[in-house]
Amino acid sequence: MDRVLVVTAHPDDVDFGMAGTVSVWTKSGTEVAYCVVTDGDAGGSDRSVSRSDMAALRRDEQRAAAAELGVADVRFLGYPDGRLAATLDVRRDISRVIRSFRPDRVVAQSPDRNWQRIYASHPDHLAAGEAAACAVYPDARNPFAHPELLEEGLEPHTVPELWLMAAPHPNRVVDVTESFDAKLAALRSHRSQVGDGAHLEPMLREWMGSVARDAGLGDGRLAEAFLVVETR
C-alpha cells in the first residue's frame, strides 16, 4: 500500500483504535493521512473551557499525536461533535478527501454496533463509519455522485480495500508489539481527554494482549484487529 486514509469521528479515535498499526505502516514507507469528521468540541470534562477553545485544543492534540506516528496530513471536516449523522453532506466531504488523497486503502470505524465493546460504538463512530463506507462505495468512484466534486476538478477514485476498526467480527490482526510505545506517545498527546495517561498502559496491554492471544500470536504480543473488506 502506498497510501492509506484513516477516517474517524473524533480526535483520538485513530490513536485508541489503531495507532500501533499506523506506526507499523509509516515505518514501512506507507503514506498515511487522517480525515477527522468532527473537531471533538463535546470532549473533555472541564466546563470552564469554551467549546470553540476545546475544538482548537483537540485539533492541536491530534496533530501532535499524528506527528508521533509519522503522519503529517491531518484534515478536519468540522462537523459538530455528538450530533453526527451519515448525511449526504458528510458522505460528499469524505468523498472529496478520498478523491483528493487517492488512497489504496481506507480505514474507518465500524458502522455496526459492537455489544462486546460498547465504548467503541459511540453514535458518532457508527455514523462516521457508515458515511466512510458509503464514500468508498459507491460515492468516490462514481462520477455522477456529488457532481460538485467534478466541478472542483476531483476525478473519481476507486479504493480497493476498506478496513474497519472495532468491528464485531474481525478477520485481520496486525502485530503492533514493537510499536506499542509509539501508540502510548500518541495517546498521551490527547491530554484534554486522558490527563497524564497513567492508566493507559495497563489498560491497553490487557486489551491488546487479549486480541493477540485470540489470534494465536502468543503471550507477550500485542495486536490490533480489523474487518477487511475487498471493494473491487
Q: Quick one: fold of 3-230?
A: Rossmann fold (3.40.50)
CB atoms under 10 Å from CB of 50, counted, come to: 10
Residue 202 pLDDT exceeds 90: yes
The pLDDT value recorded for residue 95 is 98
CA distance 58 to 40: 6
Predicted confidence (pLDDT) per residue in 19-66, tens digit: 999 999 999 999 999 999 999 999 988 889 999 999 999 999 999 999
CA distance 98 to 140: 7
Predicted confidence (pLDDT) per residue in 105-146, tens digit: 999 999 999 888 888 899 999 999 999 999 999 999 999 999
Residue 218 pLDDT exceeds 90: no
Give the residue extent of every domain in the chain.
3-230
C-alpha cell at 104: 489504496
The pLDDT value recorded for residue 103 is 98
CA distance 127 to 87: 9
Q: What is the model's pTM?
A: 0.97
The pLDDT value recorded for residue 117 is 82
The pLDDT value recorded for residue 127 is 98
Angle at 9 between CA 4 and CA 13, to 5 degrees: 70
CA distance 157 to 127: 22
